[in-house]
Each structure stands twice: as C-alpha cells, then as structure tokens.
Amino acid sequence: MRWHKTILSMIQQRQDKKVALVVDTSTNEAPAILINNIIKLFEQLKPDTILVQADFKIRSISPVKSDTIKYYTHGKSSYTLALEWATEEQVDTLFYITDVTGFFSEEMDRVNYELFWLVPGAFLPRVPFGKAIKVA
C-alpha cells in the first residue's frame, strides 16, 4: 500500500490549503471499500476537505465527513463541471477518484491548482494534466 503513505503525506503537507476530494459516481465498479478508506483518510487528517460527488453533473457538495457516496451505473462521466467548480471555489489542491475514462471540455487544457487523479485499478492511464496516482 505504497499509495497510502503517498496520499497520507500529501494531505499532511496541505494542512493550510483549501482541499477538495471529488468522487466519480458514474459507476460502482471501483471497490467501494477502497474509496471509503480514502475518504476516511481525508476525514481524519483534514476534516475541512470538501467532498464533491460528480458524474456528468455535480451531484452533491458537502464536508468530507458528512456524506455517503451514492453511485450511478450509467457510466457517463464528464470532469469539466467539477474542475470548473474547483476553479470558481479557488481550491488549492483537488484530488479526483476516478478511472479517468470520462470526458473533458476541449477548451480545457490545464487547471490553475494542483490536481491529483487517484485511479483505482491495475491500469494507470495517461492524464491530460495533473498527476495520476494508482490507488489499488
């Protein structure tokens, strides 16, 4: 679980930053226990983290400790709205739990904050910007 130590360290280094955690709810194929463990890590280490649930639209925005994840099985995911939300909210660091199979607006080629894609599963796809971290 090398990724666990990596994320732990990343959260600890961002205690004075505005941090958000987005969970891609477009499919329930990722192990729910893994995603819940990541959320618990944020809840314990940085309880002011904002939790965003999104697929092709933003489903909810709440404090990280107050929500449970509701998955949808349509498989459609667009990252644009969540990434634009982070810009509007002046988030310093965004962690996005997803398999990176969703869509981006063609105009979006970068973001003005730190972005980490937390990718469950064995395959680590290339990301258009930000840094991908395998969490499996």
Task: Give tens-digit pLDDT for 32-84.
Answer: 888 999 999 999 999 999 999 999 999 999 999 766 788 887 778 899 999 99
Q: How far apart are CA 130 and CA 118, in angstroms?
A: 11
| pLDDT given at position 54 | 95
Residue 89 burial (C-beta neighbours within 10 Å; 0-12, 13-18, 19+)? middle
| pLDDT given at position 38 | 93
- How much is the pTM? 0.94
The first and second tokens of residue 20, run together, are: 């958000």
